[in-house]
Amino acid sequence: MRARRLFLSLSAAVAVAWCAAVPARAATTEIVFWHSMDGALGEALQRLTDRFNGSQQAYRVVPTYKGSYDETLATGLAARLEGKGPHILQVYDVGTANMAVARGAVKPLHALMRETGESFDARAFVPAVASFYADSKGNLLALPFNISTPVLYVNRDLFAAAGVAGKPIKTWYDLQEVLLEVQDKAKPPCGLTTTWPSWIMLENMLAWHNEEFATRNNGFDGLDAQLVFNTRLAVRHLSLMTAWTKGKIFSYAGRRDEGERRFVRGECAALTASSASYAGIQRNARFGFAVLPLPYYDDINAAPHNTLMGGAALWALAGKPPADYKGVAKFFAFLSAPEVQAEWHQQTGYLPVTRAAYDLTKSSGFYDKHPGTDVAIWQLIHNGAPKAYSRGIRLGNHQLIRAVVDEELEQAWALAKPPKLALDEAVRRGNELLRRFEKANK
């Protein structure tokens, strides 16, 4: 018995000595990240965060899917008011103005990186991207992350079956001629469909031709901007799409990604969608497809100019402990690294937000092996710096304005309202939303 007590005493002493000799491992700080990426894009995002988490032990980023962009923005800001919001919130482009004026809710990116001392070079970002998320002094408010622009996808198998695979498609009338051939010979149930109609068929269509969407520099220069997108060009384009609807060349699928699903199933010969749809189409389509530039009208303003940047940025929300912000800053620095950005671009179809990431991708031969993956980049930079109306659109209540525009476009495509009246009504109703936002944020 005495020997057993002596053994236990010696064992306890050894255990205490061993613990004293080995430093205690610091607790891991959890960084909560709410986002709107599912499917192939959500998987790519999870791989990135896993890679960051495995690169160090002090912080663990926990990405959580919170639904659509609208749902994530609303849920994130509501939770922030209750003191329960995430550290990082993914916000799509139309929520930028709302975030910029949400005083006390946001930790601006430039302040975050300066206060934490994390290595970060804002000048590394492509100017067209950085300027959209900058304040009036050029300071970045959020981290540009999943950036995209609309392109044209075509079903190569259907085009080949119709004997039009080699025909050039530059203008909307070129596309019309080709789709008529495809409809006649390959007989798909749908010619062209689209995703995000307001963004692609109106906002980008105007920017592609260097025409304004709203006054005050498309809203960048003040909250008193007025919508002016009911132009002759917009009426012309909506009228053409309405005529295509009557002729069953264009088929409206819905306000979000419904058109992509129809294209992937092989129902539609062509699709206008985000460059980021590339990942999902590549993964799910059972046919060959090609990526082409967005069509344009070659008799308007020496088009094409530049398309608009879409997608989303990552915003750091205010009210978190200083130690947590160090982890947020480290994660942002990791996401901005050239090799990480290059990988993200190549896997998803989102644009490289830094010049270094683009150079890495180009030197690797990726664009040669995957033709068309550089089309989106070409659309943004081929004509030099963004023109007056292709830098972007920054309007308060922009997400609500898009809903109004989508509703009016649906009325035109359902043949319930003339195109000109639909656009006039969208401008009138949208301006009411702008005045409401201006009044609330004086």
Task: Say if residue 297 is in the same domain as residue 314.
Answer: no
Residue 87: inside a domain: yes
- What pLDDT, on a 0 to 100 scale, did the predictor assign at position 11? 45
Residue 373: inside a domain: no
Contacts of 374 (CB under 8 A, 6+ apart): 362, 367
| pLDDT tens digit sequence for 386-425 | 777 888 899 999 999 999 999 999 999 999 999 999 999 9
Overall average pLDDT of the 34-46 stretch: 94
Residue 320: inside a domain: yes
Last residue of a domain, one of 349, 364, 379: 364
Task: Say if residue 89 is in the same domain as residue 183.
Answer: no
Task: Say if residue 231 is in the same domain as residue 143.
Answer: no
| pLDDT tens digit sequence for 343-357 | 999 998 899 999 899
Residue 18 has pLDDT above 50, yes or no: no
Segments forming the whole domain that contains residue 332: 29-148+309-364
Task: Say if residue 288 is in the same domain as residue 422.
Answer: yes
Residue 16 has pLDDT above 50, yes or no: no
Task: Say if residue 240 is in the same domain as residue 329.
Answer: no
Task: Say if residue 108 is in the same domain as residue 226.
Answer: no
CB 431 within 8 A of CB 257: no
pTM of the full structure: 0.87
> Exposure string (b/e) for 192-228, b if CB count within 10 Å is 16 or more?
bbbbbbbbbbbbbbbbbbbbbbbeebbbbeebebebb
Task: Say if residue 262 is in the same domain as residue 129.
Answer: no
Overall average pLDDT of the 296-304 stretch: 95
Task: Say if residue 78 is in the same domain as residue 202.
Answer: no
Task: Say if residue 181 is in the same domain as residue 228.
Answer: yes
Overall average pLDDT of the 78-83 stretch: 86
- What pLDDT, on a 0 to 100 scale, did the predictor assign at position 427? 98
Q: What is the mean pLDDT of the chain?
A: 91
Residue 17: inside a domain: no
Residue 415: inside a domain: yes
- What pLDDT, on a 0 to 100 scale, did the predictor assign at position 136? 84
Task: Say if residue 168 is in the same domain as residue 144.
Answer: no
Residue 20: inside a domain: no
Distance CA 205, CA 390 (A): 10
**CATH number of the domain to which 240 belongs:** 3.40.190.10
Residue 95: inside a domain: yes
Task: Say if residue 212 is in the same domain as residue 347.
Answer: no
Residue 8: inside a domain: no
Residue 7 has pLDDT above 80, yes or no: no
- What pLDDT, on a 0 to 100 scale, did the predictor assign at position 26? 53
> Rg of the chain over CA atoms, in angstroms?
25
Q: How many CB atoms lie within 10 A of CB 81?
A: 11
As for how many domains the chain has, the answer is: 2
Nearest-CA neighbor of 251 among 235, 274, 271? 271
Task: Say if residue 137 is in the same domain as residue 161.
Answer: no
